[in-house]
Amino acid sequence: MGDYMEIILAKYSGFCFGVTRAAALLKEQLEKTKPVSTFGPLIHNPQFNEEMKKQGAGIVNSVEEVKDGSIIISRAHGLEKSIIEALKNKDIILIDGVCPFVKSVHKKALGLEEKGYQVILIGEREHAEVKAAASYIKNPIIIENAKEITDLNIEGKIGVVVQTTQSQKNVDDVILALENKFGKENIKLENTRCLATEERQTAAMNLAKKVDVMIIIGGKESANTKRLHEICSTIIKSYHIETAEELNQIDFTGINKAGITAGASTPQYVIDKVVEKLKNI
C-alpha cells in the first residue's frame, strides 16, 4: 500500500510453558527413537502438527489404534481418565505431555468433590481439556456462560474450577450469576485459569487499544487463540489468521498501526512469517 505501517507485537504471545514443554518432549523423543505418536494432536496448531508429521511423529486418536511396543505422548490439554487408564494397561511407553497447570484443574476439581462440593467446571463443553477435566470427577456440571445458570438447580455447596484458557470476564460473570442465585456463602472458586493465558489476554487488550487493527495468529481450533480474537474484537477490528497467506484477504488501506498477537500454541516461525509479510504490505 506504499505508506509505512507500524507493526507492534504484543508483550506476551506465542508458545506458553505447557506447549513448549510438550513440544520439547516430542522433539527429544523423535531424536532418540521412532516411531513416536501423540494421542490426539499434541497442541492445537495445524502448522506445528504438520511439521512434526514430517519429522516422523504420528497421531493416534483412539486406544484401539495404539499398537503394543509404541511410544505415545499425551497431549498438552490432557486426556480423559479412562483413556489414560487404558493406555497404562497396554505394553507401551507413555510419555506425559500434559501441562502441569491442566493437571492442577483435575486435582482441584477432585479435591472439591471429595470435600462434598458440587463441582462446576466453567469452560467449553466440547473442548478436549474440559472433557478430560470432567472425566476425573463423578458428577461434573459444565457451564459455558452466565446465561446457563438460570436453569440450574443445585442443593448445597458449589465448588468451581475453570478451563485454563477462559477469560476473567466470563469467570466473573458466571460467579456473579451463581452468587445471585445460590448465595455468596455457598460458592467456592478455585480459579484455575493459567497465568500464560492471563498475560497474553492482558497484553492483547492493551495493544488493541493502541493500534488500528489486530492480527491474531493461531490454529482455528485453538481455544486460547479464539479467546484472544474475541477480546481484541471488542476493542478494534481484529482478524484471526492461521498463516501469513491469509493476510492477502485483509484490506490494510488507511491502517497506520497493526498489532500482532498469537495463541499459546502458535510456533514462533509462524509468527515470524506473518511479521515478514506484513512488513511488505
Question: In the block, which residue shows the cell 495445524?
Answer: 46
| Number of separate helices (H) and strands (E) present in the chain | 9, 12
Q: Could you say whether residue 26 binds ligand F3S (CB under 6 A)?
A: no
Q: How far is the CB of 43 from ligand F3S (least distance, A)?
A: 8
Q: Could you say whether residue 161 binds ligand F3S (CB under 6 A)?
A: no
- Look up 80 and say whether it is catalytic: no
Q: Which three cell numbers stand for residue 43?
A: 497442541
Residue nearest to ligand F3S (CB): 18
Among positions 115-154, residues that touch ligand F3S (CB under 6 A) are: none
Task: Residue 201: count other Cβ atoms within 10 Å of its Cβ.
Answer: 25
Instruction: Please report, to the nearest 10 degrees, the dihedral formed by the alpha carbons of residues 204, 78, 99, 67 taken in order.
Output: -130
Contact 45, 75 (CB under 8 A): no
Contact 19, 264 (CB under 8 A): yes
**Strand ranges inside 98-247, DSSP E:** 118-122, 141-143, 158-162, 187-190, 213-217, 238-241
Q: How far is the CB of 254 from ligand F3S (least distance, A)?
A: 35
Each residue 207-246 as x (binds ligand F3S by CB under 6 A) or -, in order, gives: -----------------x----------------------
Nearer to ligand F3S, 70 or 197 (CB): 197
- Which candidate in 114, 124, 126, 129 is catalytic? 129
Contact with ligand F3S (CB under 6 A) among 10, 12, 14, 19: 19
Catalog residues that contact ligand F3S under the rule CB under 6 A.
Answer: 16-19, 76, 99, 101-102, 164, 194, 196-197, 224, 264
Q: Which residues are catalytic?
A: 129
